[in-house]
Chains A and B, each alone.
Chain A
Amino acid sequence: MPDDSLYSVRNLTVEYQTRVGIVKAVDDVSLDIRRGEILGLVGESGCGKSTLGKALMRLHTGPARIANGELWFDGRDLMKLSDREMPDVRGAEIGMIFQDPMTSLNPVQRILDHLTETIQAHEPETSGAAARTRSEELVERLGIRRERLNEYPHQMSGGMRQRVMISLALALRAKLVIADEPTTSLDVIVEAKFLDLLKELQKEFGLTILLITHNIGVVAEVADRVAVMYAAKMAEVGDVNDVFADPKHPYTQGLLKSVPNIRLEEGELYKMEGAPPNLLHPPIGCRFHPRCPFVMDICRTREPAFEPVVGGHLVSCLLYQTANVKQEGLHA
């Protein structure tokens, strides 16, 4: 595993047991998250990015389970941890910010109690008073007055609730913060403030952030690298400038073209052909081939490997792959 990689995901497959069969929401995905970076994970609704995010903490319950894979976080494989050991990692080493802060906070619990409970769950020897002090300092750093800790979630505004979510993720100085569509429920101005705050905190606390979103603009603004997912597989990964300037995967190209540009003339909106595939019965060969403007015969039968094209820029597309295609390990 490369030195500067905080989290190395290898061949992760997450399965959902449904009424009509087994669906692989994440299918043999490998990914590296480097220390100190902000990695943006983008894709359409239903491509598997949220499932991937939750899998990083082994958060799935009920019908979903991790069928296969290795989760090398900070030198150890989280898949080897027992159910009893896993909660120690959650919150303390990996933190999560959820999409809807209104429903992600317990409506009958005060904000303060959310924080102190988390602190004391991981550091039980902390006294109530000490936990309270830490909580106060934490929220003030995030721009919330300490008196508001005694309030209930429904008494706060949306932006403030989202900041509470950040504070919960940071309460124990987690190394990795997974932000799952954190700005989707916020309006544009609040979103901008949120992203600024995120960048500040990253520098101050030395955080590594995985930012899951379907909004490419957000990624362009804050991310260092970007990963693009399509139909439960990883399509493209690379430096954000590289990928945006020179997208290799046809899907990424289509995605970027779809972003409306204010300079476009009327009637020039671009729309990709087709629709995302049925994950119960995904297409044979490359999953994108039914919609790909550059489709070749081989794409209908052979699945592309996820391989580097240029340096840190990886793509899974047969357009770039040589005749002797082999599955290799990932080097980011």
Chain B
Amino acid sequence: MTETQELPPEVAAEAPTWEAELQRVGFIRRIFMARRWYGADWWFVTISAVMVLGFIIVAMFPGLFAPHSPDDLVGPRFLAPGAHPDLPALILPSDSPDNELIDLAVPSDQPRPIVAVVQGVPTSGALNEQAQVIDNQIKNEPGGLRLRPRIERYATLEEALQAVVNGKATAAVVQSLEFEAISAQFPTLREGASITGERSTAGGFFLGTNDIGQDVLSRLLWGTRIALIIGFSSSLVALFLGVPLGLFAGFAGGSLDRSLSLVMDSLYAFPGLILAIAITAVLGPSMLNIIVAIAVLYIPTYYRIVRGQTLSVKEEVYVEAAKSIGARNLEILQKYIFPNVIPSVAIIFSVNVADAILTGAGLSFLGLGLPPTIADWGIDLARGQRFIQTAWWMITFPGLAIMLVVLAFSMMGEGLTEIFNPKLRER
């Protein structure tokens, strides 16, 4: 053979020996041994496989990971990531066992709790309202607890807080952000819950909220399910249609092959997104229609590769030899052609899923895909675009999510290509 093989003939002749040794080693060990051989490509595939697994788990059980439901309006609008909603919060002495407003309830024969507020600020109204609501709830319960706080107004924030420090008031109710601004001056005080019970401590909305108050993080996690469903379903449909067609065309040949290939080539050359747009535009927005549209896009890919491989394997001498000893067509297809085709199909599949997710997100971004009630990354991005000046987190995180999922799948495909494609192997 020629001189530019990666291994000199002297070593290539030895290949069967170590391959034989390899057969005796278990699968898991083989994976780790492969690390030495394939170098960086092994890392590519392994890291991406881990990522893919992670995404699949999140997609299957989004409820486990998401703090809120994606459709509920759980917070204030346009809350930046990690920011605190500015709510009226209960300020208590650090050693106080209470946390929420309801904790201040006392039996009717005890002195009523004193709550300090700042004069002229509407918090007292909210406090009154909230206290009444809670009181109505608990007054008929056994135990005889009532919540009828006495409200003391102070001229400034500092004086109100000082009252709590001095013990003149049980607690204070002030805007949480204002308290945080000067909390250093009152080291013996701490912030409790907001008086309406919503969380006001940090990290409530890890990635912020969107324009109508939904939690971005929860929508992100639930969106994983949609993205993966679209990605996997459309790729699988395309695979189950494209691979048999390709096998058949490559094997049978003739005018059927030529005409089918002409159709597939034309389809393949056409911009995928635009075809998908056309199909969904006519069929209407729904999950099923998107899957169908995207599947149609990828059938030619599977068809071409499988057909090409079938054709080249068909020409191999060993197939001719098999035929000459009487192997039937179906057998040849099964034993020789199919196994050769599988690695390529695996690679195409992972790249396809990546592409399908991208196309699906693109379609929903354009408003042509899913109905807008579903929590989907593309839709969120489209929504976020209107608020790009004020809420950067609405567009940053969904897009990042898309990128990471697509990255995981394409890295896997890329790594697998380097491993399976012998021409590019070195070392």
Contacts and interface: CB of A to CB of B under 8 A. Distances in A.
The answer to whether A and B touch directly, with their CB atoms under 8 angstroms apart, is: yes
Identify whether the interface residues of A are mostly helix, strand, loop, or mixed.
loop
B316 interface: no
A64 B427 contact: no
**Max chain A CB contacts within 10 Å: which of B2, B11, B427?**
B11
Interface string B1-19: 0110011111111100110
Interface stretch (A46-54, A73-81, A145-153, A158-166): A46-54
A219 B361 CA distance: 69
Given A63-B427, A278-B17, A47 B3 contact: no
Nearest to A280: B14
A18 B11 contact: yes
Given A17-B427, A19-B427, A99-B2, A47 B10 contact: yes
A28 interface: no
A18 B17 CA distance: 14
B103 interface: no
Nearest to A17: B427
On chain B, which size bracket covers the interface? Answer: 10 to 19
A46 B9 contact: yes
Contacts, number: 58
A144 B426 CA distance: 39
A19 B36 contact: yes
A221 to B, nearest CB: 24
Contacts of A54: 3
B37 interface: yes
Given A19-B37, A51-B8, A63-B426, A103 B2 contact: yes
Contacts of B37: 19
B3 A99 contact: yes
A244 interface: no
B10 A279 contact: yes
B2 A46 contact: no
A45 B9 contact: yes
Interface string A89-116: 0000000001110010000000000000
A168 interface: no
Contacts of B10: 23, 25, 46-48, 51, 232, 276, 279
Contacts of A45: 9, 13
A112 B420 CA distance: 39
Interface in A16-60: 16-20, 23, 25, 45-48, 50-51, 54
A62 interface: yes
Contacts of A17: 427
A307 interface: no
Contact of B3 (A20, A50, A232): A50
B246 to A, nearest CB: 30
A285 B37 CA distance: 30
A16 B426 contact: no
Contacts of A25: 8, 10-11
Nearest to A50: B3
Contact of B6 (A20, A62, A180, A279): A62
A279 B14 contact: yes
A19 B15 CA distance: 10
Contacts of A280: 11, 14
Contact of B11 (A16, A62, A99): A16
A23 B11 contact: yes
Given A63-B427, A180-B3, A46 B8 contact: yes
A46 B3 CA distance: 11
Contacts of B18: 20
B8 A16 contact: yes
Given A50-B3, A278-B14, A18 B427 contact: yes
A180 B9 CA distance: 14
A18 B8 CA distance: 10
A46 B5 CA distance: 13
A211 to B, nearest CB: 16
**Max chain B CB contacts within 10 Å: which of A16, A19, A51, A63?**
A19
Nearest to B6: A63
A280 B11 CA distance: 8
A18 B426 CA distance: 9
Contacts of B3: 50, 54, 98-99, 180
Interface string A253-289: 0000000000000000000000010111000000000
Contact of A64 (B2, B8, B9, B36): B8
**Max chain B CB contacts within 10 Å: which of A18, A25, A45?**
A18
Nearest to B21: A20
B9 A18 contact: no
Contacts of B8: 16, 23, 25, 46, 48, 50-51, 64
Given A17-B427, A19-B427, A100-B2, 5 more contacts: A20-B18, A25-B11, A63-B426, A64-B8, A99-B2
Nearest 4 interchain pairs by C-beta: A46-B10, A46-B9, A19-B37, A23-B11
7 contacts: A45-B13, A46-B11, A50-B3, A51-B8, A62-B6, A63-B426, A99-B2
